[in-house]
Structure 1
């Protein structure tokens, strides 16, 4: 029995991290526009070493010329102009990186603007262990499912007593099932069915209502 429980816990952790990883792949560009993000961190290393190599992996080959030009200007700047030139280099690099990923650039974000899960994902790579990351994501996923399940289960008991109570159940049910579906789809890398996407649009207000309560 204990072994089965451990297996379920492990699988839940793996699924949670897979969901996080899939979500991070979709939002990686947003993470990379922060001053403490990996792109700017590598830019600092490049300036300190006077070697552009560390940042070239973040851009496509066709964009290297523009990045090298911005890098040269940053290195050449002296005195009070150096900080401004460095910032311009960071902005140029991130803008080009985001363009290569098909994402817009709205300016560099301050340090600390990264979501906790993404910050923990970076720590996992640096430390060589994903244990803390698995726990963070698994705890949040577990809480999210339980919260929505309990709301839907409570409404289910009274769904046929009146139209108002029936609608309350539908609202809770839609939020509950869409939340679980998205988690599972993200974990397995599958796209949601078209009809479910359409239903999500129709019931978007319901999901938002529940999310605010959570």
Structure 2
């Protein structure tokens, strides 16, 4: 017999996702898009009912959280088409949020299919598929090609892993993230930032202790502000998760009796 989700439960589930929707969005790496590798692996995990496809995208300490979210998703999906879509969207957002947090990056929502991606990212994925770096011809400076080749070698050495070997999968993900970030220019920008920091250090050698102390306090304050901003992102997600979890538990209890 086909089950139709009660309107009241649907309303609460929609409210939970509505909380998620109010989080501001902005452009970021393609791991947070519907066309990206994280979501593609999530779809494969759901299709084969195997969470190992997605556990490699999170840190070991976050593994249980994603396992629980995946099990909840598989239970809710059987309630009907509407429940299936809501459950899948919730899992997508939950996984990407945890993955981004593991990289030390803020989560700003999962971007829709067709979201424009940088040429370097497209070239990176094509290179992995083809097994060579021809897609980067004319796209990357010659001086950075050696660094790209080194990271690509690690990709080739780790990509053929057993899907159920999560640790091996994490090695590949680490290589993949380093490769794509370098392709985007993150490593180059980091180097420039370090050079800038060294220049500032040399320039401030002649400053008084009071000036140095004041600057150190200002930097500390800025870091604390960033941490507060990052932590505030978790609040709406916690509320959304609470709404969804209590709704599902209440639903199963009613049907149990």
TM-score normalized by the length of structure 2: 0.44
Can you list the C-alpha shifts for 1:144-188, whole angstroms capped at 9, x where unaligned? xxxxxxxxxxxxxxxxxxxxxxxxxxxxxxxxxxxxxxx8x8299
Is 1:130 paired with 2:133?
Answer: yes
Rounded Cα–Cα distance in structure 1 between residues aligned with 2:37 and 2:98: 14
**Secondary structure in structure 2 of the residue aligned to 1:192:** helix
Can you list the C-alpha shifts for 1:38-77, whole angstroms capped at 9, x where unaligned? 1111111111110000111111111111111111122121
Aligned match of 1:85 in 80, 87, 93? Answer: 87
The offset of 1:128, in angstroms, is 0.9
Rounded Cα–Cα distance in structure 2 between residues aligned with 1:136 and 1:112: 22
Give the CA RMSD over aligned residues: 2.9
Count of paired positions: 127
Rounded Cα–Cα distance in structure 2 between residues aligned with 1:187 and 1:66: 33
Can you list the C-alpha shifts for 1:2-25, whole angstroms capped at 9, x where unaligned? xxxxxxxxxxxxxxxxxxxxxxxx
The offset of 1:189, in angstroms, is 4.9
User: Which deviates more from structure 2 when the two are superposed, residues 70-79 or residues 88-97?
Assistant: 70-79
Is 1:41 paired with 2:34?
Answer: no
Rounded Cα–Cα distance in structure 2 between residues aligned with 1:88 and 1:117: 29
Aligned match of 2:124 in 107, 121, 140? Answer: 121
TM-score normalized by the length of structure 1: 0.52
Rounded Cα–Cα distance in structure 2 between residues aligned with 1:197 and 1:54: 45
1:59-208 to 2 correspondences below 5 Å:
59-76=58-75, 77-78=77-78, 79=80, 80-113=82-115, 114-138=117-141, 186=188, 189=191, 191-194=194-197
Rounded Cα–Cα distance in structure 2 between residues aligned with 1:75 and 1:97: 20
**Secondary structure in structure 1 of the residue aligned to 2:32:** coil
Rounded Cα–Cα distance in structure 2 between residues aligned with 1:125 and 1:100: 23
Which structure 2 residue ranges, 5 or more long, are not aligned? 1-27, 145-184, 202-257
